[in-house]
């Protein structure tokens, strides 16, 4: 009886567990072009299958981070009025080094390396 139940339950359980699909490890993307962002602006870009965020600081330099909030995985945005990164889901704030300033996020955002070459803003996983 037990063996019969197991022979039915096992394939069913294996079927509903999604198969492991190896993620293509993206380590470098073109996040935009010079002139896309004005100083004190930010935009979310696609970094593989996850979102990243590119910020043009008020002094014109670029910074990029993972856009996934470390609290519960919402996508953060840049707030020019506060000069901080903000997660609207649970009101978490990060400074321009990705460090948590306020709210519930437990860890800083992962920072990426930004290079500007031939007008392209290239973001690389550090």
Partner 1 sequence: MGVGALVDLGRHKRVPLHRHTLWYYMGGMTLFLFGIQVATGILLLLYYRPSADQAFESVQFIVTKVQFGWLVRSMHSWSANLLIFVMFAHLASVFFMKAYRRPREVTWLTGVALMGLMMAFGFSGYLLPWNKLAFFATQVGTEVAGAVPVVGPFIMRLLRGGEQVTGGTLTRFYGFHVAVLPALTTVVLGVHLLLVQKHGMSEPPSVIEARRRSGVPAKSMAFLPHFAIRDAIGWCAAMAILAGLAAIFPWELGEKADPFAPAPAGIRPEWYFCWMFQALKILPGHILGIEGELIGIFAIGLLAALVLLVPFIDRTPGPGDLRSRLINIAALAVLAIAGVLTVLAYMPAAGGPS
Interface residue list for partner 1 (CB under 8 A): 16-18, 21, 23, 44-46, 49-51, 53, 67, 71-77, 79, 81-82, 86-91, 93, 100, 102-107
Q: How far is the CB of 102 from partner 1 (least distance, A)?
A: 7
Q: Is 12 left (phi over 0), alpha (psi -120 to 50) or beta?
A: alpha
Q: Contact 42/65 with Cβ under 8 angstroms?
A: no
- Which of 80/111 has CB closer to partner 1? 80
- Which of 106/119 has CB closer to partner 1? 106
Q: How far is the CB of 1 from partner 1 (least distance, A)?
A: 22
Describe the strand order of the beta sheet including 92-94 as a list of residue ranges. Answer: 77-79, 84-87, 92-94, 100-102
Q: How far is the CB of 69 from partner 1 (least distance, A)?
A: 8
Q: Contact 126/112 with Cβ under 8 angstroms?
A: yes
- Which of 49/59 has CB closer to partner 1? 49
Q: How far is the CB of 126 from partner 1 (least distance, A)?
A: 21
């Amino acid at each position: 009886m037990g063996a019969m139940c197991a022979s039915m339950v096992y394939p069913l359980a294996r079927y509903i567990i999604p198969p492991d699909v190896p993620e293509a490890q993206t380590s470098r993307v073109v996040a935009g072009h010079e002139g896309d962002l004005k100083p004190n602006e930010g935009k979310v870009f696609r970094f593989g299958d996850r979102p990243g965020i590119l910020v043009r600081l008020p002094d014109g330099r670029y910074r990029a981070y993972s856009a996934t909030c470390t609290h519960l995985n919402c996508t953060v945005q840049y707030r020019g009025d506060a000069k901080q990164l903000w997660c609207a889901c649970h009101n978490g704030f990060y400074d321009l080094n990705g460090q948590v300033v306020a709210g519930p996020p437990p860890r800083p955002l992962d920072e990426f390396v930004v290079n500007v070459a031939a007008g392209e803003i290239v973001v690389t996983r550090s």
